[in-house]
Amino acid sequence: MRRLDTDVVVVGGGLGGVAAALAVLRAGRRVILTEQYAWLGGQLTSQAVTLDEHTWIEQFGCTASYRELRDGIRRYYRDNYPLSAEAAAQRYLNPGAGLVSRLCSEPKVAVAVIDELLGPFISAGRLVVLQPAVPVGAHVDGDVVTSVEVATQDERIELRGDYVLDATETGELLPLTGTEYVVGSESREDTGEPNAPAVADPGNVQAISWCFVVDHVEGDHTIPRPDDYDYWATFAPEFWGAPMIGLTGPHPRTLETVTRDFTPNIDDDPFSRIADQRADGGDQELWTFRRLLARKVLEPGFLDSDIVLVNWPMIDYVGGSIIDSPDAESHLDAARRQSRAMLYWLQTEAPRPDGGRGWPGLRLRPDVTGTDDGFAQAPYIRESRRIRAEYTVVEQDLSIGARGSDSPATFSDSVGVGMYRIDLHPSTGGDNYIDIASVPFEIPLGALIPIRMRNLLPAAKNVGTTHITNGAFRLHPVEWSIGEAAGWLAAFCLDRATDPRAVHHTPSLLEEFQTRLVGNGVELHWPDVAGY
Q: Express each pLDDT in 147-205 by its tens digit.
A: 999 999 999 999 999 999 999 999 999 999 999 999 999 999 999 999 999 999 999 99
Q: Give the mean model confidence (pLDDT) for residues 119-136.
A: 98
User: What distance in Å separates the CA atoms of residue 16 and residue 416, rounded to the nearest whole number?
Assistant: 13
Domain count, the chain: 2
54: CATH: 3.50.50.60
Q: Give the mean model confidence (pLDDT) for residues 13-40.
A: 98
User: According to the model, what pLDDT value does residue 141 have?
Assistant: 98
User: What distance in Å separates the CA atoms of residue 300 and residue 69, rounded to the nearest whole number?
Assistant: 28
DSSP output for 124-137: TTSEEEE-S-EEEE
Q: What is the largest CA-CA distance in the chain?
A: 70
Per DSSP, the three-state class of 242 is: coil
pLDDT of 273 above 90: no
User: Does residue 375 fall inside a structural domain?
Assistant: no
Q: Are residue 218 and residue 115 in the same domain, yes or no?
A: no
pLDDT digits (tens, 9 = 90+) for 463-479: 999 999 999 999 999 99
pLDDT of 34 above 90: yes
User: What distance in Å separates the CA atoms of residue 208 and residue 336, rounded to the nearest whole number?
Assistant: 10
Percent of the chain with pLDDT over 70: 100
Q: Are residue 171 and residue 220 in the same domain, yes or no?
A: no
Q: Are residue 221 and residue 161 in the same domain, yes or no?
A: no
Q: Is the separation of the CB atoms in 422 and 528 below 8 Å?
A: no
User: Does residue 337 fall inside a structural domain?
Assistant: yes
Q: Which of 338, 369, 400 is the last residue of a domain?
A: 369
Beta-sheet pairing, 248-250 with 163-166: unpaired
Residue 315 gets which letter from DSSP? G
Confidence of residue 459 (pLDDT cuts 50, 70, 90): very high
User: What distance in Å separates the CA atoms of residue 487 and residue 483, rounded to the nearest whole number?
Assistant: 6
Q: Are residue 178 and residue 265 in the same domain, yes or no?
A: no
User: What distance in Å separates the CA atoms of residue 162 and residue 455, rounded to the nearest whole number?
Assistant: 7
Domain of 54? 2-83+106-185+382-392+447-519
pTM above 0.85, yes or no: yes
Of 238, 212, 226, whose CA–CA distance to 374 is shortest? 212
User: What distance in Å separates the CA atoms of residue 165 and residue 392, rounded to the nearest whole number?
Assistant: 19
User: Does residue 408 fall inside a structural domain?
Assistant: no
User: Does residue 474 fall inside a structural domain?
Assistant: yes
Q: Are residue 333 and residue 288 in the same domain, yes or no?
A: yes
Q: Are residue 451 and residue 364 in the same domain, yes or no?
A: no
User: Does residue 249 fall inside a structural domain?
Assistant: yes
User: Does residue 438 fall inside a structural domain?
Assistant: no
Confidence of residue 530 (pLDDT cuts 50, 70, 90): confident
User: According to the model, what pLDDT value does residue 277 have?
Assistant: 78
User: Does residue 422 fall inside a structural domain?
Assistant: no
Q: Are residue 146 and residue 65 in the same domain, yes or no?
A: yes
pLDDT of 49 above 90: yes
Q: Are residue 134 and residue 173 in the same domain, yes or no?
A: yes
Q: Are residue 360 and residue 386 in the same domain, yes or no?
A: no
User: What distance in Å separates the CA atoms of residue 9 and residue 166, rounded to the nearest whole number?
Assistant: 9
Confidence of residue 105 (pLDDT cuts 50, 70, 90): very high
Q: Are residue 153 and residue 176 in the same domain, yes or no?
A: yes
User: According to the model, what pLDDT value does residue 450 have?
Assistant: 98
pLDDT of 275 above 90: no
User: According to the model, what pLDDT value does residue 280 have?
Assistant: 80
User: What distance in Å separates the CA atoms of residue 458 and residue 165, rounded to the nearest whole number?
Assistant: 6
pLDDT of 532 above 90: no
User: According to the model, what pLDDT value does residue 281 have?
Assistant: 81
Q: Give the mean model confidence (pLDDT) for residues 401-420.
A: 97
The mean pLDDT value of the chain amounts to 97
User: According to the model, what pLDDT value does residue 276 have?
Assistant: 85
User: Does residue 398 fall inside a structural domain?
Assistant: no
Q: Give the mean model confidence (pLDDT) for residues 273-300.
A: 92
pLDDT of 531 above 90: no
Q: Are residue 170 and residue 46 in the same domain, yes or no?
A: yes
